[in-house]
Amino acid sequence: MTRNHADRLRDALPAEKPAGAEGAVENPHGGKLSPQALQIASRLQKSVISPTVLAGTVRLADLAIVAAFGFASLNSGGVPLTSSTTLLPVVTALVLSAAFFQASDCYQIPVMRNIVAQGARITIAWTLVFVTLFMAKTFGNVMRGFEGDLLIIWYGFGLATLLTVRLIVSSFVRHWTRDGRLERRAVIVGGGQAAADFIHEIERQPNNDIRICGLFDDRKGDRSPDIVAGYPKLGTVSDLVEFARIARIDMLIVTIPLRAEKRLLEFLKTLWVLPVDIRLSAHTDKLSFRDRASSFIGTVPIVDVVLKPMADWDSIAKRGFDLVVASMLIVLLAPVMLATALAIRLDSKGPVLFRQKRYGFNNEVIDVLKFRSMYHEMADPTAKKVVTRNDPRVGRFIRRSSIDELPQLFNVLRGELSLVGPRPHAVNAHTNEKLWDEVVDGYFARHKVKPGVTGWAQINGWRGEVDTQEKIQKRVEYDVYYIENWSILFDIRILIQTPFALLKTENAY
């Protein structure tokens, strides 16, 4: 996917504004990004489609077609579906299809985009599957009782369906490609000749899916000009953090030479809080790295420094787990929630639910739902005053038992929260008149994933009032540990331990 200078500049530079439309694009984060950076970020807010997930989904569809027509063809010939005569050829066809389709590069995005190439590869691979099955039946004396005409029926209907599905897939892939949904969006950190050399190397790679969205560098002047290899410099490294909060960026590629260790460490300290891959360009350093620490974009070597947490299939698995378990919990806990809502309504005036602005994924501000546990006239939606022990404003029972948190299960269904993750903190949360991001270095790293209804820090005793710097420091440490060690089994463990952790109410009020 090579792009010329005209295409790059057209995508990168802000569109001309009509007369009277002076001023910058509104910045939802209230920062100081330039109008040019805001214009580009606003074009990159649509999420991309993971090529890994797309290829995996198509692979599963192919295998489902193979199995479905295998069983249907054999059943039409009167062969019992549970007999070895049926199971052996179907299982064999599934294994052969997976191997031949993969060997034919049928799951490469450029192939799926091309109807002719895709159809030819599918036809050849599918034919090889049945040539192998026919040879096994004829010369291997296996699959006795499996008539040859059933193979022909299976082959014909299976091929027609595979080609039809791939025609549909090709249409979607070409549409998503034109829409920029199948690219990996990258920002270059650094400038000057090193960045220019890296960009030229990337653009020479065949079927390149990297879209460079701009550069950020702290240097100025000749060492870091405003345009590098046709791409604009959009601001400093500090500006990049704000830019990545608005735009959907997949990776940051640092083109600073590895020998500039001090400057490199300063950049990484600033950037690691972002939910993106961070990689170092190694093409100019001529160094060798262990396989687990390095990768390639085409033939260009890069060093994997920070990997995006819960990407590709991990994010799908976690979202599916959230939807299934949250739905079950809502049904099971419905009597408790209804009784709580009724008690609140009868006890005091005001709405049953309380909405509070809290930080979500990537510092997005979301409305978190809770049962109202304060008198309505004493409500504190901005969390300017932290709840303390024996606070007269709150209903202690639903606070200590965390029943007030149950409506957040609906936040999970809406995709704003996860069942398990770092707890969402109020936007103005503070300790000793200092905001928590000022208290803890790297505080915003806990926002690299969706916040959770429960979390690793909470079941380890770090819940309730945060009146010392140590308490918020410990919360962040446990949250970062969770992010770096996440798995579905880890989530299940935390969910199982949560009811027992709720019994310890000394810090909950």
| Three state DSSP letters for 150-176 | HHHHHHHHHHHHHHHHHHHHHHHHHHH
d(CA 94, CA 90): 6
Higher-pLDDT residue of 327 and 304 is 327
Q: Which of 20-24, 172-176, 317-321 has the lowest mean pLDDT?
A: 20-24
Average pLDDT of the residues in 285-301: 56
Is residue 13 very low, low, confident or very high in pLDDT (cuts 50, 70, 90)?
very low
- As given in the structure block, the two tokens for residue 117 are 């190439």
Is residue 455 within 8 A of residue 479, CB to CB? The reply is yes
Residue 63 pLDDT exceeds 90:
yes
pLDDT for the residue 106: 93
- Going by the DSSP 8-state scheme, the letter that residue 485 receives in this structure is T
3-state secondary structure of 409: helix
pLDDT for the residue 127: 95
Burial call 3-31: b when 16+ CB within 10 Å, e when fewer: beeeebeebbebeeeeeeeeeebebebeb
Is residue 465 very low, low, confident or very high in pLDDT (cuts 50, 70, 90)?
low
Per the prediction, the chain carries an average pLDDT of 80
Percent of the chain with pLDDT over 70: 77
DSSP for 346-373, written as a single string: HHSSS-SEEEEEEE-GGG-EEEEEEE--
- How far CA 455 is from CA of 427, 441, 482, 494, in Å, comes to 19, 20, 8, 7
Burial class (CB in 10 A: 0-12, 13-18, 19+), 93: buried
Residue 19 pLDDT exceeds 50:
no
Question: Could you give the dihedral angle defined by the CA atoms of residues 199, 194, 246 and 221, in that order, rounded to the nearest 10 degrees?
Answer: -120
pLDDT for the residue 119: 94
Average pLDDT of the residues in 397-406: 80
114: CB partners within 8 A, 6+ apart: 170
Of 70-74, 173-177, 189-193, highest mean pLDDT: 173-177
Residue 464 pLDDT exceeds 80:
no
Q: Which of 139-143, 188-192, 231-235, 490-494 has the lowest mean pLDDT?
A: 139-143
pLDDT for the residue 267: 81
Residue 5 pLDDT exceeds 60:
no
d(CA 199, CA 227): 12
Percent of the chain with pLDDT over 90: 30
d(CA 312, CA 285): 30
Range list of β-strands (E), 178-299: 184-189, 210-216, 227-228, 231-235, 251-254, 277-281, 294-297
| Angle (CA) 455 460 461, round 5° | 105
251-254/227-228 β-pairing: unpaired
pLDDT for the residue 8: 47
What is the per-residue pLDDT across 75-129, written as a single tens digit (0 to 9) for each? 776 666 666 666 788 888 999 999 999 999 999 998 999 999 999 999 999 999 9
Question: Could you give the dihedral angle defined by the CA atoms of residues 29, 30, 35 and 40, in that order, rounded to the nearest 10 degrees?
Answer: 0
Burial class (CB in 10 A: 0-12, 13-18, 19+), 374: buried
Residue 506 pLDDT exceeds 70:
no
Burial call 411-438: b when 16+ CB within 10 Å, e when fewer: bbeeebbbbbbbbbbbbebbbeeeebbe
Average pLDDT of the residues in 444-456: 90
- How far CA 5 is from CA of 36, 105, 231, 373, 421, in Å, comes to 17, 31, 8, 58, 43
Q: Which of 52-56, 310-314, 485-489, 501-505 has the lowest mean pLDDT?
A: 501-505
DSSP for 33-90, written as a single string: --HHHHHHHHHT-SPPPPHHHHHHHHHHHHHHHHHHHHHHHHHHTT--TTSHHHHHHH
